[in-house]
Amino acid sequence: MDNSGTSHAHDAFFKIVMSQPEAARDFLNLHLPPALLAICDLDTLQLESTSFVDADLKPYISDILWSVETTRGSGYVYALIEHQSKPEKYITFRMLRYSVAAMQRHLDVHKTLPLVIPVLFYAGKRSPYPFSMNWLDAFEDPEMAAALYCRDFPLVDITRVPDDEILRHRRVALMEFLLKNIIRRDLMELTDTLTDLLVSQLESGYTTEKTLLAAINYAVRDGDTDDYHRFINTLAQRLPQQRETIMTVAQRLREEGRLEGRMEGREEGIQIGEEKGLIKGKLEGKLEVAQQMLASGMDRHSVMTLTGLSDDDLRNLRH
């Protein structure tokens, strides 16, 4: 027997009543835990729209969302009231998702997260309600879940890790070293350590061609120094097998104007794209770099992010 029509009727009746502020006030007075009721000024009840809810949740929602000001004179509390006539094992997780969506909508216009109080109103044939109302019990290991989600989240603050320790981090050493230092120090201060790291990473097999290409592009594109010629030349000398890649990346950046005014007219070192008509223009320089990135196995999204090219530009590489 299809009970969907009956279920919708239950939900509709529930929403008609609970959308009235007087009824909602009585409901919350009766059913909120005392500690939570004490912080709610029920005279300020305001019915909230649920239009912000993700599309994949909408088919399951019969919720009423009320906001109230706090008795402490600042901030808001939201009461999320869900009606259910058939028990659902993972209702707490769904209500949590809805609560987080309400928090995000609030945070879009306020500076702190609000409390969202999820309340399940159950009126079904089966009694008592058979499932836990602690969302952590939905995990296979509730104790481990509580240890994770009820404490500070793990933080990797790489700014506090010494460089010599980072250099021992195997396949993530290059990423961590660049991300830590590139916005905090001049590139020339990093040259010796960076080139030694690149050499050791290549020799040990910890860095792939794809990662190396991304690292060089990132360092030259986003790092800062007053002597780009020297930095690029040092990289090319220490990494002769990657010389062509380094030159191509530097050529593109020069064509974008990123190197202008920083190299102060110095022409010694690597001559980038100036011999034999190699200067092909800003777009063609980018396309050449993109071709190398794709050939090394880098995904299209990363290539577009690093080069600024569009999906159409990359498609044109095939023609």
Asked if pLDDT for residue 62 goes beyond 60, the answer is no
Q: Which domain holds residue 304?
A: 158-316
pLDDT above 70 (res 37): yes
Per the listing, tokens 């109302």 go with 133
My answer on whether 132 and 259 are in the same domain is no
Model confidence at 120, in pLDDT bands (50, 70, 90)? very high
In angstroms, the CA 61 to CA 53 distance is 9
Q: Does residue 130 share a domain with residue 181?
A: no
CA distances from 90 to 125, 131, 260 (A): 18, 8, 59
Q: How many CB atoms lie within 10 A of CB 170?
A: 11
Average pLDDT over the chain, rounded to whole? Answer: 83
Pair (182, 296) in one structural domain:
yes
Does residue 95 sit in the same domain as residue 182? no
Based on the domain organization, do 95 and 183 belong to the same domain?
Answer: no
pLDDT grade for 246, boundaries at 50, 70 and 90: confident
Last residue of a domain, one of 149, 177, 199: 149
| In a shared domain, residues 170 and 33 | no
165 and 141 within one domain: no
On whether both 271 and 181 belong to a single domain, the answer is yes
Residue pLDDT, tens place only, 175-224: 999 999 998 999 999 999 999 999 899 899 999 888 888 898 888 888 88
Domain boundary among 120, 149, 178: 149
Domain count, the chain: 2
Is 169 in the same domain as 310?
yes
* Residue 133 to residue 91: CA distance in whole angstroms: 8
Q: Is the pLDDT of residue 126 over 90?
A: yes
Same domain, 108 and 173: no
Q: Can you give the three-state secondary structure of the chain, one letter per residue?
A: CCCHHHHHHHHHHHHHHHCCHHHHHHHHHHHCCHHHHCCEEEEEEEECCCCCCCCCCHHHCCCEEEEEEECCCCCEEEEEEEEECCCCCCHHHHHHHHHHHHHHHHHCCCCCCCEEEEEEEECCCCCCCCCCCCHHHHCCCHHHHHHHHCCCCCCCCHHHCCHHHHCCCHHHHHHHHHHHHCCCCCHHHHHHHHHHHHHHHHHHCCCCHHHHHHHHHHHHHHCCCCCHHHHHHHHHHHCHHHHHHHHHHHHHHHHCCCCCCCCCCCCCCCCCCCCCCCCCCHHHHHHHHHHHHHHCCCCHHHHHHHHCCCHHHHHHCCC
The verdict on 145 and 181 lying in the same domain is: no
pTM of the model: 0.71
Q: Are residues 176 and 65 in the same domain?
A: no
Q: Which of 94, 125, 149 is the last residue before a domain boundary?
A: 149
